[in-house]
Amino acid sequence: MADQGGVIGFYSPDEEPQPWKSRLELDLPEFRFEPLENVSDVHCVHYALVWNPPVGFLNQFVNLKAVFVLGAGVDSLLRDKTLPPVPIVKLSDAGMANQMAHYVAYGVLHFHRRFGEYRQFQMEQRWSPILDISSAGQFPIGVLGLGAIGSVVARQIARLGFPVLGWSNSPKQIDGVRTYVGEDDLAELLRESRVLVNLLPLTHKTENLIDRSFIKRMRPGAFLINIGRGRHVREDDLLESLEEGLLSGAMLDVFDEEPLPNESPLWRHPNLLITPHVSGITMPQIALDQIVKNIQLIEFGETPRSLVDLDRGY
Ligand code: GLV
């Protein structure tokens, strides 16, 4: 195992270090746990557990064996071109998939059962049943991205009785889900879906994917749920498409700039539901199971699970 004195360092602007420290010191007693901002000796740091570290911060730790990202998305870390040349490991699901499936279920039901309109009617004390709703079976849901999270989301939405069409970069088979791969198939999925759910990783290929021309390929009057990254969507194009009725509404958890600035028109648009990047919160205990297991694998000279592929960018 590790030399005495090896350090597992921690950096996150969002998370308290204590739960991580207690568990790691218990399961990996041969390591010390230290916050990376005030580590006693940069040479002792063998593993770094990080969320959104500043660019250039990690390359001072010259004896790192791996970097663990405390989330599923690695886009912000990979923007740092000075990262040390060590394996980067992301979380796989870690309790997020189920939460995100619930988030999507809420959004799909909100749009399908017209809860936005009922909320408005309630404000006006208006009893106004909307009777021309389609059955769930006639309300297809498209899911872009079928990785550790997207596959769970697709399966759970299918269980609610909605036809689910899922698209991914590599072929996938999921019970109850019509799966597609590649550009031609995306066209069919976009044409059919009443609600499109974005769960793609953010890479140079997917940045700004959901722009005006993309929205024009979607079924007229469809809804969008974005729980990928804000930079997948051109926010100006989204607003314009809502104004023109190309889109009927959207539920957004992620934004180009976070926190969403006060002056953003997205806040006030009546057909938008806005949440502050909470659709899937990292559960430290589940994340720690994966991290401890992966550190043990690396210490035994084996390959960790959920390794980030730097060429693909996720
Ligand atoms: C959150 O956005 C994550 O990538 O885990």
CA of 50 to the centre of ligand 1 (A): 12
pTM for this one? Answer: 0.95
Q: Which two tokens stand for residue 174?
A: 């999921």
Q: Which two tokens stand for residue 171?
A: 């072929």
Query: From the CB of 249, is ligand 1 less than 6 Å away?
Result: no
Q: 97 CB less than 6 Å from ligand 1?
A: no
CB 7 within 8 A of CB 31: yes
At residue 2, the pLDDT reads 45
Active-site residue (options: 23, 229, 231, 234): 229
Nearest CA to ligand 1 atom 2: 73
What is the whole-number distance in angstroms between the Cα of residue 197 and the centre of ligand 1?
16
Q: What pLDDT is recorded for position 80?
A: 97
- Which atom of ligand 1 is nearest the CA belonging to 96? 5
Query: Whole-angstrom distance between the N-terminal and C-terminal Cα of the chain?
Result: 29
CA atoms within 13 A of residue 218's CA, in its CB half-sphere: 31
Determine if ligand 1 sits within 6 Å of the CB of residue 71. yes
Q: How far is the CA of 88 from the centre of ligand 1 (A)?
A: 15
- For position 5, what pLDDT does the model report? 60
Residue 228 beta carbon below 6 angstroms from any ligand 1 atom: no
Residue nearest to atom 1 of ligand 1 (CA): 71
Ligand 1 centroid–CA 131 distance in Å is 39
AA identity, residue 87: P
* CB 227 near ligand 1, within 6 Å: no
- For the question of residue 204 being annotated catalytic, the response is no
Q: Which of 102, 114, 212, 277 is catalytic?
A: 277
- Annotated catalytic residue 32: no
Gap from CA of 205 to ligand 1 centroid (Å): 18
Q: What is the pLDDT along the chain (314 residues), one digit of tens a residue?
A: 445 569 999 999 988 999 999 999 999 999 999 999 999 999 999 999 999 999 999 999 999 999 999 999 999 999 999 999 999 999 999 999 999 999 999 999 999 999 999 999 999 999 999 999 899 999 999 999 999 999 999 999 999 999 999 999 999 999 999 999 987 779 999 999 999 999 999 999 999 999 999 999 999 999 999 999 999 999 999 999 999 999 999 999 999 999 999 999 999 999 999 999 999 999 999 999 999 999 999 999 999 999 999 999 99
* Bridging pattern class, strands 45-50 and 31-35: unpaired
Query: Is residue 72 in contact with ligand 1, taking CB distance under 6 Å?
Result: yes
- Tell me how far apart the 2 most distant CA atoms of the chain are, in Å: 71
Phi-psi label, residue 177: left if phi above 0, alpha if psi -120 to 50, beta otherwise? beta
Cα 230 to averaged position of ligand 1 atoms, centre (Å)? 12
Region at 116 (left for phi over 0; alpha for psi -120 to 50; beta for the rest): alpha
Best of 76, 79, 96, 226 for a ligand 1 pocket test (most atoms within 8 Å of beta carbon): 96
What Cα–Cα distance (Å) separates residue 100 from each residue in 62, 103, 163, 253?
36, 5, 18, 10
Cα-Cα-Cα-Cα torsion 86, 302, 36, 290, nearest 10 degrees, comes to: 120
Rounded Cα–Cα distance for residues 72 and 62 (Å): 25
- From the CA of 74, give the closest atom in ligand 1: 4
Q: Which among 192, 193, 141, 203 has a CA at the least distance from the CA of 169?
A: 203
C-alpha closest to that of 36 among 2, 70, 3: 70
* Beta bridge pairs of residue 167: 144, 180
Under a CB-based contact definition with an 8 Å cutoff, are residues 200 and 206 in contact? yes
Q: Using a 6 Å cutoff on CB, does residue 150 contact ligand 1?
A: no
Assign 291 to helix, strand or coil. Answer: helix
